[in-house]
Amino acid sequence: MRIDAARKGALRLLAGVRDGMSLSDQPNAIAGLAPADRARAQRLALAVLRNIDRADTLLVQHLSKKPRPDVLDVLRLGTVELLEMGEAPHGAVNAAVGLVQGMGPKGRAAAGMVNAVLRKISGQFKEWVSLPPEEMPEWLREPVLAQWGEDITTAIELAHQAGAPVDFTAKPGKTAPGQVLPSGSFRLHESAQVSALPGFAEGDWWVQDAAAAMAVRVLDPQPGEDIVDLCAAPGGKTLQLAAAGANVTAVDLSAQRLERLHENLKRCGLAAEVIAADALEWRPRAAPDAILLDAPCSATGTIRRHPDLPLIRDGSAIEALAELQTRLIDHALDILKPGGRLVFATCSLLAAEGEDQVTAALGRHPGLAVEHPEWAEEWLSPVGGLRLRPDHWSEIGGMDGFFIARLRKPETAR
């Protein structure tokens, strides 16, 4: 059955996450499925990951002992299908039983238990909707709680659990599918095959979260300016800069990730010089007017789109990432022309990868100044720049968490 193929694909994805792989690292897990099955497998896996602890809260009430991991994943999938996705009990329970029966003798031995547990679970909708949202892991929740308090922390967790619609950035004079957002991005709330949407083949727009698109709007590129997009892949910001008429150089360490940028530039009829190089070592032929540095970071602002992240990371890399960000900021300022502007951005919820970086950079570089974007006063952070959170725009689907600051290099050294 087609739907069972999708469920089996979802279980393979969940098993990969248990082994420490992100969903994006597992293309082979669902490569053999038909396009509709691949899309459904991803939706099922995402739904389970967004509700995994909530599912376990109900399941533990009906289990005398913890099942083996693959059987537990079937129970989680069945629970989420029944209570979160509204699947008919008969179909979801029977499918779950069929999945464990296909796991060999030990799976067949668990079939009766799976059937009994999920039939009980199917009657617990009231308990399900009363459960609190999925909590961030302690290594992330503690600093978020310290920065914003319990109410905002819970609002962020609710935004994570709600997931993310698809956002688009359109070329000037063009439109994209969906709702027009206050920032100028477009948002599509319903599921769709992106490549089949109006304007895709014509290159009128590209997929880009609304918060990520704000980094270029803060930079305010002008036609004819020489602008470097440092750490550019996968390239949404490069496309924005090129569409604004700037002369763009896109630099990224990964030649493989830059392939997607080449494809999108071609589809959208835009031009940029694309260079595969270490951003810390690369130097331009002439100092650019502006640099956009969307630095490597913990990506903790993207959990609404990547619910696997809290399960495969433990926060141990943040110190090294912050050190890399510091070095990238210093290098960017070194190669930037006097009086030029640098936009520093990270898709992180953590001050160590945002506000603290700006404060430290101001201390290291006399004359460096933060310029405040006037169009987003409500999102200004105390140190300057924008602090965007997943719970912003909650009534229309939220946004990724980002920190974005525009820095102005002094005209002359002091």
Domain boundaries, the chain: 2-130, 211-408
Q: What is the pLDDT of residue 374?
A: 74
Instruction: Tell me whether the CATH fold assigned to 2-130 matches the one assigned to 211-408.
Output: no
Pair 335, 277: CB distance under 8 Å = no
**What are the residues whose beta carbons fall under 8 Å from the beta carbon of 243, sequence distance 6 or more?**
171, 172, 268, 270
Residue type, 337: K
Q: What is the pLDDT of residue 1?
A: 44
Best CATH choice for the domain 211-408 from the list 1.10.3720.10, 3.40.50.150, 3.30.590.20, 3.40.1480.10:
3.40.50.150
Give every residue of the chain whose pLDDT is below 50, as ranges: 1-2
Buried b (16+ CB within 10 A) or exposed e, 95-107: bbbbbbeebeeeb
Peptide bond into 284 cis (omega under 30): no
Distance CA 231, CA 244 (A): 19
Q: What is the DSSP string of 340-389?
A: -EEEEEE--S-GGGTHHHHHHHHHHSTT-EEE--GGGGGGB-TTSSEEE-
Best CATH choice for the domain 2-130 from the list 3.90.79.10, 1.20.140.10, 2.170.190.11, 1.10.940.10:
1.10.940.10
Residue type, 77: L
Of these residues, 231, 268, 297, 347, which one is catalytic? 347
Q: Give me the residue label for tokens 């190089």.
A: 277
Number of CB atoms found within 10 A of residue 261's CB: 21
Kindly report the backbone phi and psi dihedral angles of residue 180, in degrees, each rounded to the nearest multiple of 5, phi listed first.
-85, 125
Q: What is the pLDDT of residue 3?
A: 55
Residue 347 a catalytic site member: yes
